[in-house]
Amino acid sequence: MIVTRYCNNMAWTGYQKFLALMMVVTGSINTLSTKWADKVESKGSDGVVRVFEHPFLQAAAMFLGEMLCLLVFKLIYLKTRNTGGHQLTQGNQSFNPFILMPAAMFDLVGTSIMYVGLTLTYASSFQMFRGSVIIFVAAFSTIFLDKQIIKREWAGIAGVILGLVIVGSTDAIFREPGETKGPNSLITGDLLIIVAQVITSCQMVYEEKYVRGLNIPPLQAVGWEGVFGFSTLSALLVVFYWTPAPPHFGHNARGTVEDAIDGLVQIGNNPVLLVAILGTIVSIAFFNFAGISVTKEMSATTRMVLDSVRTLVIWMVSLAVRWQVFHWPHLLGFAVLIYGMAEYNALVPRCRRAPADAPVPSSAAEDHEEHHEEA
């Protein structure tokens, strides 16, 4: 029996590669812009100079960025409707926009819980436990989407998780002196972050089921989610303005859960802070468009694996601007993370032997014919 050897590899289209790159780059810019804003000091509404700490106002800014996607979609649709349409507007237009409201609420609740958890625990723990979202997305995909996660994909997911754990553990072990928190605070914060990942995974799976299932244009889907998220959070900002903050919170002029007016005054008093907020708004629009497009083109699990790659980009930029100190275990963690991503997406070549009469992938057909002639 003639035996041939070929490599099985899954190829992405050029458009899918573009979406993946856009998601990683704009997602990294979004996180760095948010972190940059949190480090900027500015005069508040009470005349006191303090660090900008307005997580719910920042979340509202992100939803505003998503709303801009709907405006862009409408402009492109109106301009091209008489000329056959545009690729960004192709898809189902006859759907009820409120079908996207649950996804927006998942996003709103998950993001808010993550912000609260971040104030109670270390940033390294936030980074580490956030990687657990991949597990929940994979599990929920098998339950609600009837997907089969093969061994190679589970191995890749395990690699991504292990890489994130190494990175997060390194930051916890080598943390700066004086950076201590109580055990109750740490446990509560870590649990909140894990709960937030469960909610975020619900959003990812929901979007795959309906955005992909109903063939909704990604730009339009992001826009409607922004409308629902921004309108809901705007109402909550009014409530938070009058709600006294619990301990460890309320670092604003009024000592409330959120003082949006104080935050807006700080933004107006510092052009650097304004640039950081604008970076958040613009980058989140592109990031969520790319993310939903990846979900529609590939899967929610692939979206979460790509999202984890942001950790590497953010780490390198943080080192460059001296926001973080270099520790060699980071290199090991990121190497494992990248390998896990490559393993999940079948970017690691795998060769196997098969009978000559077995179907041969088209990419290996020419090699098979040459080997057959030699035999």
pLDDT digits (tens, 9 = 90+) for 120-153: 766 556 666 777 787 888 888 888 888 888 888 8
- In this structure, is residue 354 part of a structural domain? no
> What confidence tens digit (pLDDT) does each residue in 195-238 have?
998 999 999 899 888 877 788 888 888 899 999 999 999 999 99
pLDDT of residue 171: 63
Helices and strands, counts by H and E, the chain? 13, 4
- In this structure, is residue 261 part of a structural domain? yes
Read out DSSP for 22-65? HHHHHHHHHHHHHHHHHH-EEE-TTS-EEE---HHHHHHHHHHH
pTM for the model stands at: 0.76
- In this structure, is residue 284 part of a structural domain? yes
- In this structure, is residue 330 part of a structural domain? yes
Query: CB-side exposure of 244: number of CA atoms within 13 Å?
Result: 2
Is-contact 199 133, C-beta < 8 A?
Answer: no
- In this structure, is residue 268 part of a structural domain? yes
Could you give the number of structural domains in the chain?
1
pLDDT of residue 375: 41
- In this structure, is residue 75 part of a structural domain? yes
pLDDT of residue 269: 95
Scanning the structure block, which residue is given the tokens 């106002």?
A: 57
pLDDT, averaged across the chain: 79
- In this structure, is residue 357 part of a structural domain? no
> What confidence tens digit (pLDDT) does each residue in 51-88 have?
888 888 988 998 999 999 899 889 988 888 877 777 78
Is-contact 127 167, C-beta < 8 A?
Answer: yes
Domain that holds residue 226: 12-43+55-80+95-348
- In this structure, is residue 204 part of a structural domain? yes
